[in-house]
Amino acid sequence: MRLERLAGKKILWLVLVAALVLLAAILPAEVRSENRPEIYDPGADMKAQIAAAVKTAGVENRNIILMFGGNWCPWCHRLHALFLSDNKIKKILTERYTLLLVDVGEKPGQPLNRDLVELYRIKDFGYPALAVLDKQGHLLCTQSTGVLEKDKGHDPAKVLAFLKMQVGD
């Protein structure tokens, strides 16, 4: 009787482990993009938006920051969420920058804004990638955000330091 109960427990554990392995295999590692808000507009005329930002940047004493990525990119969503949630980062972005989100497309065969990727020298970067323009629209720097990461997100202190450095704070 005891052997039967022990064998039954082993079978139960094996079934439980198999079910967990199956669930882990079929569940996505990241939250699916359908569950995230669409922060990038694939139909946006980014050249026009950049030109408009340059027109007002000098008057408003702002730099322009371009965040290249796409709605499919979990790291883009994480950085954008940090921009909105961290008070110090949000303050410097609001006061000293105009933020534009540049969609690079979702399908490899149908890239969006490739000319801007080339122009702002982020061709070989992963996403999100940042390009900072001065008030006249000249490129100040590009930044792979990999160096700003910490664990499963971006380090607020590193992001803040990067933003401050670009505006001379």
Quote the pTM value.
0.77
| Residues 9, 67 within the same domain | no
| Residues 20, 61 within the same domain | no
pLDDT at 10: 65
Full domain range(s) for residue 13: 2-30
Bridge partners of residue 133, in order along the sequence: 64, 139
Cα angle 45, 54, 166 (rounded to 5 degrees) comes to: 110
Distance in angstroms (rounded) separating the CA atoms of residues 64 and 102: 12
| Residues 22, 40 within the same domain | no
Distance in angstroms (rounded) separating the CA atoms of residues 4 and 133: 73
pLDDT at 6: 54
End-to-end CA distance of the chain: give it in Å, rounded.
76
| Residues 18, 78 within the same domain | no
pLDDT at 5: 61
Six-digit token string for 88: 């110090």
Please tell me the total count of domains within the chain.
Answer: 2
| Residues 56, 135 within the same domain | yes
Contact 48, 108 (CB under 8 A): no
Cα 126 versus chain centre, distance: 10
pLDDT at 11: 63
| Residues 20, 98 within the same domain | no
| Residues 26, 43 within the same domain | no
Low-confidence ranges of the chain (pLDDT < 70): 1-34, 107-110
* CATH at 80: 3.40.30.10
Distance in angstroms (rounded) separating the CA atoms of residues 11 and 62: 65
| Residues 76, 57 within the same domain | yes
Prior bond of 108 cis (ω within 30°): no
Task: Encode pLDDT of 87-130 as tens digits.
Answer: 999 999 999 999 999 999 876 666 789 999 999 999 888 899 99
